[in-house]
Amino acid sequence: MSTYTLDTATSRANPTPAPMKRLTVPAIRNRKGKDPIVMLTAYTTRMAQLLDPHCDVLLVGDSLGQVIYGLPTTLPVTLDMMIAHGAAVVRGSYHAVVIVDMPFGAYEASPEKAFEAAARIMAETGAAGVKLEGGTAMAPTVEFLVSRGIPVFGHIGLTPQSVNALGGYAARGRSNEEHSRIIDDARALADAGAAAIVAEGVVETLAQEVTAAASCPVIGIGASNQCDGQVLVTEDMLGLFERTPRFVKRYDDLAGRISAAVGTYADEVRSRAFPGSDQVYAPRD
C-alpha cells in the first residue's frame, strides 16, 4: 500500500511524493494468486491524482467514449482520443501502472498495424502497456507486441467493441460452447505472453475456472471475487450515472451530491447571496 496521502499526490508540476516508486507490469503479473489487484478506470489528470494512492492499475478505458464524450458505444473512439487521455492520466499518477485501451480498428487488421498503434500509445503517453479485446484470434497479435517490448493486457468474455457481433451486453459463458471458448481464449492469451487478462461479464463459475486456467492474473468485472483482481468504471462505482450494469456496486452518490451543491449555488446566485463578503475584493486603503 502506498505511504503517501492525497494532499501530497498532486501532479508532475509538483515534487514527486517520497518515498515513491511506480509499480511495474512484471510486478502486476507476479501478483497471480496473491494479493488482489485493485484496478479502476481513469480518463483525466485530476481523477488519476485521486485514484493513484489506492490503485495498482489505472486503466484508460475506451469507455471514455460513453463516460466523457456521451457516445452510444465505444466504437467511435479514436486512437488520438486514447492518446490524449492516456497522457493526462500518466501526468496525474506516480504509483499505479497505467494501461491504455487500444480502440476499435487500431489493431485487428494485422499484428504490424497493431504494433504501429501500440507504439504510438506507448511513446506519446508514457503508459506502461496497452489492452486489447479478443481471445484466441488475437493471441498472435499479443505475442507479436510482447516480443517487441509492448506489455499487453487481454480482454475476454463480454467484449464491448464486439457488441454488434455479440448482439448486446448480456453475460457470456452460459452455453457449453461459449464456456469452453472463453477458457481457451484465456489460455491462448496467457500463453502468448499477456501480462494480465480482464474477464468481463462472465458467469461466476466460469470466471473462477478462467482464473485457475490462466497463468497470468485475471481481473474481473462482473465476474467473481475469486479473480486475481477487480476493475470497475470509476464513474459507475461513484454513482455519477443513474443507470449502471447490475455488477456495479455504488460506493457513493456523487450525482446526487453534485446536483444538490449546484442547486444551492443557483439559489444563492439568484438571491444575490453569492458572492458574499468573503468572495469579493475590498478596495485598497
Residue ranges of domains in the chain: 25-253
Q: What residue ranges in the chain does DSSP mark as E strands? A: 37-41, 57-60, 97-101, 129-131, 152-157, 196-200, 218-221, 229-232
- Is 268 labeled as ligand-binding? no
Tell me the pLDDT tens digit for each residue of 191-224: 999 999 999 999 999 999 999 999 999 999 999 9
Confidence label for 7 from pLDDT (cuts 50, 70 and 90): very low
pLDDT of 6 above 60: no
Q: What are phi and psi of 194, to 5 degrees?
A: -55, 135
Q: Is the confidence at residue 148, as pLDDT, over 90? A: yes
Q: Which residues, including other chains, have CB under 8 Å from residue 168's CB and lie 6 or more apart? A: none
Q: What is the pLDDT of residue 48?
A: 97
Q: Check whether 267 is labelled as a binding-site residue.
A: no
213 near 194, Cβ under 8 Å? no
pLDDT band at 263 (very low <50, low <70, confident <90, very high): very high
As beta bridge partners, residue 172 has: 202
Alpha-carbon span 209 to 231, nearest angstrom: 18
Q: Is 99 exposed, middle or buried (0-12, 13-18, 19+ CB in 10 A)?
A: buried
The pLDDT-based confidence of 174 (bands split at 50, 70, 90) is confident
Question: Using 50, 70 and 90 to split pLDDT, how confident is the model at 167?
Answer: low
**Active site amino acids:** 200
pLDDT of residue 1: 35
Q: How far apart are alpha carbons 261 and 245 in whole angstroms?
A: 26
**Res. 2 pLDDT band, cuts 50 70 90:** very low
Exposure of 153 in the CB half-sphere (CA atoms within 13 A): 32
184 in a labelled binding site = no
Q: What percent of the chain has pLDDT over 90?
A: 82
DSSP code at position 202: B
Rg (CA), the chain: 21
| Domain topology for 25-253 | TIM Barrel (3.20.20)
Query: Is residue 62 part of an annotated ligand binding site?
Result: yes
Q: How confident is the model at residue 168 (pLDDT cuts 50, 70, 90)?
A: low
Is residue 204 marked as binding?
A: no
Q: Tell me which DSSP letter residue 162 carries.
A: G
Model pLDDT, residue 25: 98
